[in-house]
Structure 1
Amino acid sequence: MHRSHLKRLLTVLVAVLAVVLAAASPAAASHPDKPKPTIVLVHGAWADGSSWAKVTSRLLDDGYTVRVPPNPLRLLSTDAATIRDFLSTLSGPIVLVGHSYGGAVITNAATGNPNVKALVYVDAFAPAAGEPIFPLAGADSALAVPPENVFDFVPYPGAPAGDVDLYLKRDTFLTSFASGVPRREAENLYPSQRPLTLSAGFEPSGTPAYDTIPSWYVLGTRDLIITPEAQLFMATRANSKITRIKAGHLGLISNPAPITKVIEQAARATR
């Protein structure tokens, strides 16, 4: 009787051990011993780091370390250098995310950095070597009209000859840049827009990081600033994993949940 009971107990213990080992196997777990990557969010033109607020809060709730360094919006090469220097202060794996012009910045800033394991583009420019960003917006972009119809030109100290800060005109900002954002929220965003220099929009890009780093792309199918067709061209060329969402150019504000999901997919792929 005693031996029979002991045999049954051993059988149960063996079964339980098998379940535990299976649960701990690589097939059932995503290497829990590896740290979560740091998520670095880079904002675009006519915005600042607060444009990422709704995505940031979701990532923090899910246990990620998040950094949102300021993008100077002065010149593509120096903006990329600023973000590159910031990345150099971080240890461990990094997922680098760029919105709009921020996509061009991360394309240059991540090149050659072994800690950047994934790039995520959100309604963003993903230029090839030698390409400036403005022509990549698409033939039907709200920006593809006479500049004086879209921008307010503002001088800035120390500007090279002919260079100016570009502010979006109110109508362009509200109806095209912030399309899909509740009107009152868009009206609150307009006064605090941060300008991009004219020269930043026409400086040729450098060697693209997406040639060597896996990338994801969130494509806003209602974007009026970087057209969906232009986004698809750039995302396909970069061999990005594409997710389409029904959102305008500021999907990170109007539709933060699916964008957060894509960022976290990229983060899990690094582990």
Structure 2
Amino acid sequence: MHGAWADASSWNAVASMLQGQGFSVLGPPNLLRGVTTDAPYLASFLAQRTTGPVVLVGHSYGGVVVTNTATAGGDVRALVYVNAFIPDEGDTVFSLLGGSGSAIAVPDPTTVFDIAGYPGAPEGDADVYLKADTVHKAFAQDLPETDRWLIAEGQRPITLGANTTPSGPPAWKTVRSWAVVGTDDRVIPPDTQRRMAERAGATITEVAASHVSMISRPEAAFDAILAAAASID
């Protein structure tokens, strides 16, 4: 499950490595409209598109979605969080980032985001895009410049409301979890990632990478997913 400002192609490198090991890999779309919409959508996808044991993997905001989905659809046996939010009940994206030192948790959000309305939006809601400068300096700073521009120009927005919707009961209380912490992550600072992962009892690995470690250092996510798969009876 991809996160904000991304799509399933952000997992291409990891997916290719897993397919090379004989795993079936699916990259469902994340609607990025809020967990009360996004989690039921993923649960429906899992119920209809998967058979047998599932390792459910989430990046960034995708971690919120998988946390609220894993016990609602499909035979999910393990969770893997890659540079991801791992919320407890009542947490929001903004509350988890508050005081963290995140490059996107700033007093004036218009310095890092471009905000645009969208048809049918609830009152006060809007789409949020990363400014190109934010992509280059804080989101994907360890990727080649051409790749950073592709991210900046092809990003899928997340809504403001998705960042303020409280998370529900967390699946990690009953499903084993793994977490990959990017030590150069400027979106979800590594200390924040570690704190969430420790709270969830996740098996933690670290990699010297930006927020998009699954692109710049895909072997870290690949290894964590293999470990999760190996744990399934």
TM range (shorter): over 0.9
Report if aligned partners of 2:43, 2:72 keep a CA contact under 8 Å in 1: no
State TM-score, norm by structure 1: 0.83
User: Secondary structure in 1 aligned to 2:115?
Assistant: strand
Among 95, 102, 105, the alignment partner of 1:135 is 95
Pair 1:54-2:18 in alignment: no
- Other structure's SS at 2:195 match: helix
1:88 corresponds to which of 36, 43, 47: 47
- Runs of 4+ in structure 1 deviating by more than 3 angstroms, as ranges, are none
> Mean Cα displacement is larger for which, 53-62 or 131-140?
131-140
Structure 2 CA distance for aligned equivalents of residues 62 and 73 of structure 1: 30
Aligned-pair Cα RMSD in Å: 1.0
Please, which runs of 5 or more residues in structure 1 have no aligned partner?
1-41
The match for 1:68 among 20, 27, 43 is 27
What residue identity is the alignment partner of 2:223?
K
**SS of aligned partner of 2:142:** coil
Distance 1:50 1:91 in 2: 23
Q: Pick from 159, 178, 182 the counterpart of residue 216 of structure 1.
A: 178
Residue in 1 aligned with 2:207?
245
Once the two structures are TM-superposed, the CA of residue 111 in structure 1 deviates from its matched residue by 2.6
What's 2:124 paired with?
162
Q: Which moved more, 1:235-244 or 1:184-193?
A: 184-193
Provide Cα deviations, 1:107-155, integer angstroms capped at 9, x if missing partner: 0011355711000000000110011112213521011112111111111
Per-residue Cα deviation, 1:56-109 (whole angstroms, up to 9, x for no partner)? 100000100000010010111110111011111222100000000000000001
Percent identity (aligned):
49
Return the alpha-carbon distance in structure 2 between the equivalents of residues 124 and 78 of structure 1: 19
2:146 corresponds to which residue?
184
Worse overlay, 192-201 or 70-79: 70-79
* CA–CA separation in structure 2 for the residues paired with 1:174 and 1:135: 25
Opposite residue 139 of structure 1, the aligned amino acid is S
**Partner amino acid for 2:20?**
D
Letter in 1 for 2:146: R
Mapped partners of 2:213, 2:63: distance in 1: 14
Structure 1 residues 203-260: Cα deviation after superposition (integer angstroms, max 9, x where no partner): 0000000000000000001100000010011000000000011111000100001210
Which ranges of structure 2 fall in alignment gaps of 5 or more residues? none
| Distance (whole Å) between structure 2 residues aligned to residue 84 and residue 179 of structure 1 | 33
Contact 1:164–1:197 (8 Å) recurs in 2:
yes
Aligned length: 230
Query: Which structure's CA Rg is the greater one?
Result: 1
Please give the alpha-carbon distance, in whole angstroms, between the structure 2 residues aligned to 1:135 and 1:182.
32
2:135 corresponds to 1:173: yes
When normalised by structure 2's length, the TM-score is 0.96
Match for residue 105 of structure 2? 144
CA shift, 1:187, in A, is 1.2
Letter in 1 for 2:123: A
- How many angstroms apart in 2 are the aligned matches of 1:217 and 1:253? 16
Q: How does 1:81-120 map to 2 (within 5 A)?
A: 81-89=40-48, 90-113=50-73, 115-120=75-80
Q: Which whole-Å CA distance do the structure 1 matches of 2:142 and 2:173 have between them?
A: 32
Q: Distance in 2 between matches of 1:114 and 1:72?
A: 19
